[in-house]
Structure 1
């Protein structure tokens, strides 16, 4: 072995031990890595364990740490140039970094010490002589030291990923202003019949289009999206014939490589916790300790509101608040923009300076789209100054029972989440978590006048009154982003629940087993691809008799289709393509007739793309509304025929003329995007990974896809990892899998070694005593 001062360089992958000389730890720490790169950290103090976690994250995911930090802070333009400027302006305007600074000061001294130890671990690795990953070299950048608040800004970025109700308000606002009531009520889910006209001018349309453009730009790099959420369920001991409760969880996020999570087993003086850490954050977010196990889904709570602000016509620095004029808070942000390549042929960019205005409610997000006719502010729980969410997640890692579990989660403000629970004493439970605003006026579906005092938030739902369940009578709990409360619940939570189909399917799978449930059953459930949401639309589609031989063949296949969206299904490919084209045929003429404008193309496409199968089925079966160009009695025969022709042409172009070969997995591909190299020719084939896949947005095995010309249906979101835990008094069985691999180094075997096993549900079985060692043992010495 070769030793250098302060560092060690690997000369080949067979090296068993490596040593770093590191300051910042009190005793030697051992990091054991198994053959798939999953690590166990053995330390004599908890702070040394968190230091070693920072060191490990940096060693395996250094580019991801740098990318996520830059993204959250609005500093991508420094390395990616002008193409990232729109995103940076948005991030600076929303102010995640400012919110992280405020949150740091509200944490306990213990939490700040953990963040400091983790940052010291990252920085210890940065100071070694090891070559940085190729992304740094190709972009010609270095990495500055990690700061404790950087971890909190990563946590704020997760909240932004899981909080999207402001976009619903933008869409509702646009629909109210532009569409006749029949159309608005049909295509906007949960749209109220008595929706008010919020504003009345044409500029709001351009502004909405600009906001939707920003939304799309963020989704391109993995921030936000419609089908982000997760599945989780827990079954009681009585369903497993006395072997202990079983908890399953598979969080859904935008897919990327490397995956956002990193498996760790952390062992310190008091700490002994195992599961998935979010890269950049020094806690296990999903996992278990010796006493309890937990899983998480997105609650879909409405924690964001938009407000129209009234600006003083005589002094644009003032806005109206409670009948008086108040000065905007203003901070200046300077964004540095990398010179275009080649530098010798392109001028240097001057730094872009923006003034971010804020009211007492929050930042003026309309400034980020350069439209000033309507000034719109954002109120969002993640921007609250007194955020103690990290304290809550840290205490969760140490919780020993239901009471301590709930006590820790009471400190979490954002994101709003569903937590499922099981413990070694055969208890199961559910707890809603996060700050959910109480509104005096409205239910967060439209921007409201900020100058009206009756429109302000009236505090938050008390934690003790948030939905919870402990050892329910039916013996199981299912959470799939579906509605969590009935009409009897006294508080408003959301109108943005996911459709109930995943939750219904999971419950049906649990109820269908006459024999005791096992871990193997849970694996099968997580891989299930039956799409209950297709049932109504398929019944209507298959009433069409077909105008040609090829039409009749396609309809015949669909009639015998069992609604399974598996990768080998021909019916799934025909259904999905026909559904997409039929939406366009039915809705485009209606929107054009109502709108008479073409400048707002992004909003126009958003309406069509987000129309569900249930909504479309209701439209084409309507007895009172003529949605189609054909007569009502024909029930859209013309549109059914022409859209099926378009679907057949599309699939023929992509897969050939043999309809029996039109398998869904051949035209539907999961793409693990790399930022930024997925958008760079030649580098994309090196850094990105893609493979054929089954599933749909409403299957338990979630797969949300968009159509891309010449490529087919590209899945950009889905399960980011999977875990299944069975716990009892004597043992814990923990199965897990990451969606790509443990390493973020493109040339590492662990970069993509789990891509295909993940789709095949080939789990990794962890051992609590770390007997499944190790190709590399690393000792950190003072």
Structure 2
């Protein structure tokens, strides 16, 4: 017995030692994990040395980590800004410069070679290098000071000390070394911004693909309705170009009817297959689809290109506000990311710069915000600044008006982590780089030319000069190949970086417009207000003037009549100062009426958001306050539901079964619905009823689009944005339209058949996913937002995604709603675009201004400011946008002194 007892004692002793060792190991691992996460957290209190400063710089941070920087000189100010951006967001900055330089394979290996090939072919970095030479000495000095601040931080930080992402990267690329920051890195980031806000290039590809896939031109045009000027007002209600200058008082630009672009000259015409015959052929369909697929693999910097990408901004004059001074609001709609795209900051010095607002990590200055005298906000003008040209090529030659001219060529070498370098040859025509060279599947399209039955390239504007697919005159057997070239305004060097510094220091309308004149790409709508009480609007940007064609279809590159002939002069672009109505609204709708003599684009957003904002302003019961504007920004009213709901209810009312589930559900949920779409609400509350109605409506809308447009190629199914509002609006008045007939049934369906089936399918889906009680359904259970890390957030490795992504949350709003939480009906209900920030500036009291961003100012996972603004953003709340130094210091929770 004693031996047994001794044996058990030994076992217990060993077990205790094993447990103790395991506990110690777990503790060590936990401490190591905490150390690995926290060692990159920046010092935000006390004092640090920043070489190159001429005087100390003071940085106050509030509880949300928002810095207010006070310096004596502009050199010190931008050096400090570069240092602080690097402290909080350097991984994001490093990733972006690898994108813009076409160097992702250096980080992530062979899988990124094709993406780098596209980026090198477009040559963003090369253009940025050329822009550096165009900038003024002051602008170059600011950019260099900023870079010096970044590099001062880098001198003491590498690998995991810089950010947790580098620790994860080291698991697959242990040899990566961070390089110094260059001012050109900042300029190149502006190219990525321009790419994501490039206008209608995706629409141009889609038109060509739909035509090539078998739709007739009238069918394609029906999917791109004209802007509804009779229902949704443009930004500028009047004015005309007089003597080469836009005059807001010169008489109204007609806007009383929906009109398509006119034919001829620079205004339109020249689409494919004028006779209306479709069937461009499978080769053409494959060509444009593969081009779209290739471009879709490029990293999303700001926006995903979907219908939800846009913005709201408006400015209300003092005549309508409680303070008697203007209120300016802005909320850009971009793709959700972790960290968010914006970094809030104040920049103050004993010099020309005294400004606060939203910045881009990697770029000096403030992008959107206010200084002591003026405030400004941006939305995407969305003009047509890209054209695709189908080129006839033979080796390194391209055909122009019957002659063969040399292509420009260069060799690019792509370094590959863990692999051998890859060399590519980039060819460029007079229109731009040949994008088709960047795709192996597109390089050989000339072997089977994409020709439609009439002999013209499918989805390409008709050119009578040459017959594609046949040898050109006197060319023998040469020229039987095709390539696709991109003309894009951002590929021409410009001075947009200079515009940011000029905006930051502008003190009045004249100086603001001078700054806007430098803002070439991306072309934006800019709203303006100043402390003197003025409000205004300016549409800047480099917008092409075309010869033939209207930019809606690919152009024949061999016909010089389709070339760009220049750019719209800045003086002719619409602008307004102190409009008679007392307010201005921009939300990506048409800028000006169809009588405007220049072609900006024919692919606007359709005005549902802008008209709702106008209606809220004009119907306000009293003088408007900042709190009123905050409620407007979080408005969740669906603008198409008042049209669709009665149509569905009427169709369900003809059901023969009195117990029809969809009819009972629709009449119960949609009765007295005010078309607001909150995420949730307490059981039995008004918001709960609204949310249940919204859940059923959006499910019905999604199934309706799938039922109507089942003949469209999978890549071009409806995303559900406001273009589709207009398409379906037209079809509701055509109950026998062929679009209503489903392709997968022998019966011939009509409008009410599809409306009923969509409602029934939606009810079945929600009963399956959310239970049998319609009153318990919630829009926020379907409409989920996950802010994902741009690099590792979709890695497919659960623990890695957990490290860097925010927790999923249900949100209010929807597509083409003022609270624009976009979603793609072809993919599901998940949020793919958001109001990336919200800003409200009170020009009567700048300290009464408000702001919020999607996630938080820090780019370090697990930092307290990584996602601390998300709960407030989701609820429509904002933070104080402090301005006066006394208010800043009173709210400061940390004070950092940067010393020379």
**Fold match by TM threshold 0.5:** yes
For the pair 1:550 / 2:677, whether they are aligned, the reply is no
Distance in 2 between the 1:708 and 1:376 partners?
28
Q: Where do residues 221-232 of structure 1 align in structure 2 (5 Å cutoff)?
A: 223-226=303-306, 227-232=308-313
* CA deviation after TM superposition for structure 1 residue 234, in Å: 0.4
Secondary structure at 1:772 match in 2: helix
Computing the radius of gyration from Cα coordinates, the structure with the larger value is 2
Q: Is the CA contact (8 Å cut-off) linking 2:648 and 2:759 kept in structure 1? A: no
Q: Which residue of 1 aligns with 2:837?
A: 721
Q: Which residue of 2 aligns with 1:179?
A: 215
Q: Which residue of 2 aligns with 1:774?
A: 892
Secondary structure at 2:362 match in 1: coil
Q: Which residue of 2 aligns with 1:279?
A: 361
Q: Which moved more, 1:285-294 or 1:446-455?
A: 446-455
For the pair 1:40 / 2:68, whether they are aligned, the reply is yes
For the pair 1:359 / 2:477, whether they are aligned, the reply is no
Per-residue Cα deviation, 1:323-368 (whole angstroms, up to 9, x for no partner): 43222111222223334xxxxxxxxx33232211111221111222
Secondary structure at 1:718 match in 2: strand
Distance in 1 between the 2:650 and 2:114 partners?
47
Q: Is the CA contact (8 Å cut-off) linking 2:709 and 2:718 kept in structure 1? A: no
For the pair 1:236 / 2:317, whether they are aligned, the reply is yes
* CA deviation after TM superposition for structure 1 residue 641, in Å: 3.5
* CA deviation after TM superposition for structure 1 residue 773, in Å: 3.9
For the pair 1:71 / 2:94, whether they are aligned, the reply is no
* CA deviation after TM superposition for structure 1 residue 559, in Å: 4.3
Q: Is the CA contact (8 Å cut-off) linking 1:52 and 1:121 kept in structure 2? A: yes
Q: Structure 1 residues 309 and 607 mapped into 2: Cα distance closer, same or farther (>3 Å)?
A: farther
Secondary structure at 2:297 match in 1: helix
Q: Which residue of 2 aligns with 1:687?
A: 804
Q: Where do residues 339-378 of structure 1 align in structure 2 (5 Å cutoff)?
A: 339=418, 349-370=419-440, 371-372=442-443, 373=445, 374-378=482-486
State TM-score, norm by structure 2.
0.79
Q: Which residue of 2 aligns with 1:329?
A: 408
* CA deviation after TM superposition for structure 1 residue 146, in Å: 0.8
Secondary structure at 1:258 match in 2: coil
Q: Structure 1 residues 613 and 13 mapped into 2: Cα distance closer, same or farther (>3 Å)?
A: closer
Q: Structure 1 residues 80 and 697 mapped into 2: Cα distance closer, same or farther (>3 Å)?
A: same
* CA deviation after TM superposition for structure 1 residue 398, in Å: 0.6
Q: Which residue of 2 aligns with 1:3?
A: none
Distance in 2 between the 1:259 and 1:12 partners?
19
Per-residue Cα deviation, 1:39-74 (whole angstroms, up to 9, x for no partner): 011111011101111101000111111111112222
Aligned with 1:379 (options 487, 498, 502):
487
Q: Which residue of 1 aligns with 2:532?
A: 425
Q: Is the CA contact (8 Å cut-off) linking 1:587 and 1:608 kept in structure 2? A: no
Q: Structure 1 residues 682 and 645 mapped into 2: Cα distance closer, same or farther (>3 Å)?
A: farther
Distance in 2 between the 1:157 and 1:474 partners?
37
Distance in 2 between the 1:95 and 1:457 partners?
20
Q: Which residue of 1 aligns with 2:392?
A: 310
Q: Structure 1 residues 515 and 453 mapped into 2: Cα distance closer, same or farther (>3 Å)?
A: same
Q: Which moved more, 1:435-444 or 1:462-471?
A: 435-444
Q: Is the CA contact (8 Å cut-off) linking 1:165 and 1:496 kept in structure 2? A: yes
Distance in 2 between the 1:500 and 1:472 partners?
19
Q: Structure 1 residues 708 and 611 mapped into 2: Cα distance closer, same or farther (>3 Å)?
A: closer
* CA deviation after TM superposition for structure 1 residue 194, in Å: 7.8
Q: Structure 1 residues 486 and 735 mapped into 2: Cα distance closer, same or farther (>3 Å)?
A: same
Secondary structure at 1:287 match in 2: strand
Q: Structure 1 residues 73 and 16 mapped into 2: Cα distance closer, same or farther (>3 Å)?
A: closer
Distance in 1 between the 2:319 and 2:754 partners?
52
Q: Which residue of 1 aligns with 2:235?
A: none
Distance in 2 between the 1:756 and 1:283 partners?
28
> Structure 1 or 2: larger strand share?
1
Q: Is the CA contact (8 Å cut-off) linking 2:718 and 2:724 kept in structure 1? A: no
Aligned with 1:218 (options 278, 295, 298):
298
Q: Is the CA contact (8 Å cut-off) linking 1:302 and 1:494 kept in structure 2? A: yes
Q: Is the CA contact (8 Å cut-off) linking 1:231 and 1:250 kept in structure 2? A: yes
* CA deviation after TM superposition for structure 1 residue 268, in Å: 1.7
* CA deviation after TM superposition for structure 1 residue 611, in Å: 6.2
For the pair 1:613 / 2:725, whether they are aligned, the reply is yes
Secondary structure at 1:679 match in 2: coil
Q: Is the CA contact (8 Å cut-off) linking 1:26 and 1:48 kept in structure 2? A: yes
Aligned with 1:266 (options 307, 322, 347):
347
Distance in 2 between the 1:221 and 1:384 partners?
20
Q: Which moved more, 1:56-65 or 1:23-32?
A: 23-32
Q: Which residue of 2 aligns with 1:669?
A: 784
* CA deviation after TM superposition for structure 1 residue 212, in Å: 2.2
* CA deviation after TM superposition for structure 1 residue 88, in Å: 2.1
* CA deviation after TM superposition for structure 1 residue 411, in Å: 1.2
Q: Which residue of 1 aligns with 2:567?
A: 460
* CA deviation after TM superposition for structure 1 residue 691, in Å: 0.8
Q: Is the CA contact (8 Å cut-off) linking 1:506 and 1:700 kept in structure 2? A: yes
Gaps of 5+ in 1: 1-8, 340-348, 592-599
Distance in 1 between the 2:816 and 2:733 partners?
22
| Residues matched between the structures, number | 748
CA RMSD of aligned residues (A): 2.6
Q: Where do residues 599-748 of structure 1 align in structure 2 (5 Å cutoff)?
A: 601-603=714-716, 605=717, 612-623=724-735, 625-629=737-741, 635-680=750-795, 681-689=798-806, 690-706=808-824, 713-728=829-844, 733-748=848-863
Secondary structure at 1:565 match in 2: coil
Q: Structure 1 residues 12 and 91 mapped into 2: Cα distance closer, same or farther (>3 Å)?
A: closer
Distance in 2 between the 1:239 and 1:47 partners?
41
* CA deviation after TM superposition for structure 1 residue 620, in Å: 4.5
State TM-score, norm by structure 1.
0.91
Distance in 2 between the 1:86 and 1:773 partners?
49
Distance in 2 between the 1:242 and 1:256 partners?
36
* CA deviation after TM superposition for structure 1 residue 90, in Å: 1.8
Q: Is the CA contact (8 Å cut-off) linking 1:723 and 1:737 kept in structure 2? A: yes
Distance in 1 between the 2:757 and 2:300 partners?
31
For the pair 1:760 / 2:760, whether they are aligned, the reply is no
Q: Is the CA contact (8 Å cut-off) linking 1:654 and 1:667 kept in structure 2? A: no
For the pair 1:113 / 2:113, whether they are aligned, the reply is no
* CA deviation after TM superposition for structure 1 residue 33, in Å: 1.2
Distance in 2 between the 1:142 and 1:31 partners?
30
Secondary structure at 2:539 match in 1: strand
Distance in 1 between the 2:826 and 2:890 partners?
43
Secondary structure at 1:232 match in 2: strand
Q: Is the CA contact (8 Å cut-off) linking 2:389 and 2:486 kept in structure 1? A: yes
